[in-house]
Amino acid sequence: MELIVAHDRAGLDKARSSGSVALVPTMGALHEGHRSLIRMARAMGEQVVVSIFVNPLQFGPDEDYARYPRTLAADLEICAEEGVDVVFAPSPDDMYRPDRQVSVSAGEMGTIVEGAVRPGHFDGMLTVVLKLFNLVRPDIAVFGQKDAQQLALIRRMVVDLDLPIEIVGAPTVREGDGLALSSRNRYLTSDDRHAALALSRALRAGAAEREPAAVRAAAREVLAASALEVDYLVLVDPATFAEVPDSYRGEAVLAVAAKVGSTRLIDNLPLTF
């Protein structure tokens, strides 16, 4: 079946199937990590919809909205290769009315960890995700676990707002050297890329330990010896993103964010104590 590309709500409504729909929301600049999300969606839904939209609401005034990679032609080729049924690629004017007033609040979880560094980011993210849910009306939505706090907040929104959608988290996909795949990796110089490997090394060093205090210490030791400008290294509850105590037992996420040259990257590993 030929890939359908919808640029507005009318085209999306016309393309939507009556069967089960699996949505993969993206900001484009697709890579192997996105392919893994699409393949998971393909196995779960009768129709796969990929959204491609660089959402202005989740970028701060000094962030990279203007230069964020926009590669629609290449993205459509990837979607066709992966058997996507519909791509929804609206413009900001299609998504947001000029007199828009109402947005989603991410609540307290949206103000900690990544939200403390990027105020308002998660409000903008949840606003566009809710709009995509309303427009696409999926049964399933697939998100990458690399954006672990985003995934936690989307799950919280689905529960709090009683949305009839199953949220599926897909494992982080990495390069052979351990660097987590990201659309922003294309910003990295060769020296930046080498320095960025300290992120995954720190996570692996932490994961080799068995107690929360030792996990934090091992990861911080790696980061302290690196050239990275670290925003945070935290060990948190995956549902709330609150820091876990040293006596903690259960599921956790070791998350890190740092600047490499002019590029900011995030990464994480799920752990169990």
Domain locations in the chain?
A: 4-170, 185-268
The residues annotated with a catalytic role in the active site are 34
Query: Is 183 labeled as ligand-binding?
Result: yes
Question: Are 4-170 and 185-268 in the same CATH fold?
Answer: no
The three-state DSSP-derived secondary structure of the chain is CCCEEECCHHHHHHHCCCCCEEEEEECCCCCHHHHHHHHHHHHHCCEEEEEECCCHHHCCCCCCCCCCCCCHHHHHHHHHHCCCCEEECCCHHHHCCCCCCCCCCCCHHHHCCHHHHCCCHHHHHHHHHHHHHHHHCCCEEEEECCCHHHHHHHHHHHHHCCCCCEEEEECCCECCCCCECCHHHHHCCHHHHHHHHHHHHHHHHHHCCCCHHHHHHHHHHHHHCCCCEEEEEEEECCCCCCECCCCCCCEEEEEEEEEECCEEEEEEEEEEC
> One digit per residue, pLDDT tens: the chain, 273 residues?
799 999 999 999 999 888 999 999 999 999 999 999 999 999 999 999 999 999 999 999 989 999 999 999 999 999 999 999 999 999 999 999 999 999 999 999 999 999 999 999 999 999 999 999 999 999 999 999 999 999 999 999 999 999 999 999 999 999 999 999 999 999 999 999 999 999 999 999 999 999 999 999 999 999 999 999 999 999 999 999 999 999 999 999 999 999 999 999 999 999 999
| Topology at the third CATH level for domain 4-170 | Rossmann fold (3.40.50)
CATH 3.10.20.30 fits 185-268, yes or no: no
Query: Is 45 labeled as ligand-binding?
Result: no
At residue 14, the pLDDT reads 95
0.75 exceeded by pTM: yes
Query: Is 30 labeled as ligand-binding?
Result: yes
Query: Is 31 labeled as ligand-binding?
Result: yes
